[in-house]
Structure 1
C-alpha cells in the first residue's frame, strides 16, 4: 500500500502544511527554542503565553519527531485526495483546535507545573489515524518470523514511535489527536459538511512550490479520452461494463482513491472492470499514459 503518486500532486494543502512545519521546526531549532515550545500549565494558566498555542502545533521539538511526523503527514495526503482540499482544510482546523482544547483541559486537570507537553502537529497526525483505520483497506498480508503484518502495519509502527517519542509529553497530545479524529468521524456539529471559503482553499492550490514525482492527470477525469459508458462499447481488452449493473464496493473505490485516482474515475473504471480492482487500476493507468 502507498499514498498514491509520489509528491504532492492533488494535495496542495498538505504540501503547504508540511513545508510550514519543516520551516518552523528548522528555524526555531537553529535558535535553540524548539525544545521549549510545548504547552505547560505555567505557560497557559500563569504566564498566559497564548502565542504558544500556535507555535506548538507547527514546530516539532526534536529531529526524530520531525522525521516521523513529516513522514506521516506526507502519507496522509491520501485523505486530501480522497475528500478534496476544502474539506481536508476543515479537517485540519477541527482536529488541531479540538486537540489543543483537550490538551489545555488535560493540563488544567494535572495542575503540574513541571508538566510540559511536546510540540508539533500531533492533533492532525493522530486524528488522521481514525480515517486511516476505517477507510483505508488492507491490500497485502504477510508474515515476518511468524508474525502477521499488513501493508498498513508500517504506518501504525511509525505512529507508535511518534506517540512514545517523549513518553507522557507526547502520549497526551497523541491521545487528544485520536479523540479529535473520533469527534470528526462522529460528525459532531455536522463538521463533515462544513467548508471554508473557496478563496482560502484555492490559495494553496495556486502556490507554485516544486513538487516531486510525475505530473498528475486532471483530477476531474483521469480517464481522459476514454469513451463514455453511455455510447458505443469500449474497444479494450477488459470486460465490458454493459453487462455489469452492480455498484462498485466502497472498499474498492477507496483502494483506488488511496492510489491517487479521482473518485468518479475510479468508480467508472470499476464498473467497466466488473469490480476487479487490478483490472480497474490498469484501465486508469492506461488512461493516464495517454
Structure 2
C-alpha cells in the first residue's frame, strides 16, 4: 500500500513536470511564424491626435479686447477735454464782453458812479477767481482721466491673466487624451476580432489550432500596441506639463491626468482578456 502511494505520487510529479515543460515550451520558448500584414496594419497605424491650441492665442484675443476698452475710455476722456475747453472759451468770451460793457459804463459815468464801479470791479475779480478755480478743477479732473484709464487697463490685464487656471489648461487637453483612449480601445477590439476570425477560419478548414501560436502572436501585437499608446500619451503629457509651467503652475498639477490614463489602460487590458476568454 505504501509503495503504491509512493509510485502514484512520483507519477503525478512527473506528469506535472511534463505538463509544465510543455506549457513553457509551447507558449514561451517555441518560435512561430507570426508575421501578418493585417495585424501590422492594426498596430502600426499612427494615432490621429492633435495638440490643443496654445494659450497664447486666447490670451491675445483677451488683450485685444482689453485694448479696445482702453482706447474707448481714452476717446471718451478726449471728448470730455474738448467739452471742458469749449466751456472755458465761452466763459472767457462772456467775461470779455462784460469787461467791455463795464469800461463803456465807466467812461460815461466815471464821476458819478465811482463807488459802484469799484464794487463791480471787486465782483468781477471775485468772479474771475471762481472761474479760475472751476477751470483748474476741470483740468485736474481731465488730467486724472488718463491715470484712471491706465489703472483700469492694468487691472483688466491682471484679471484676464488670473482667469487662466491649471484646470483650464488641463481641460484643453482632455479631448485629446480621450481621443487617444478611444482609438487605443478601437485598435484592441480590432485585434481581438481579427484573432477570432483567424481562429474560426482554421477550425472551419480543419487545420490544427495551436494555442501557443495565437498566444505569442497576439500577445506580442498587444504589447506593441500598448507601447505605441504609451509613447503617444507621454508626448501629450509632456506638452501639458510644459504649458502648466509656462503659466506659473507645477508639473504635479497634471498627475491626476496620468493616474486616470493608467486606470483606463488597466480597464482596456481586462476588457480585452475578457473578450478573448469569451470567444476562445
| TM range, smaller chain | under 0.3
Q: TM-score, normalised by structure 2?
A: 0.19
Higher Cα Rg, which structure: 2
> Which structure has the higher relative contact order (CA within 8 Å, separation 6+)?
2
Q: Which has the larger share of helix?
A: 2
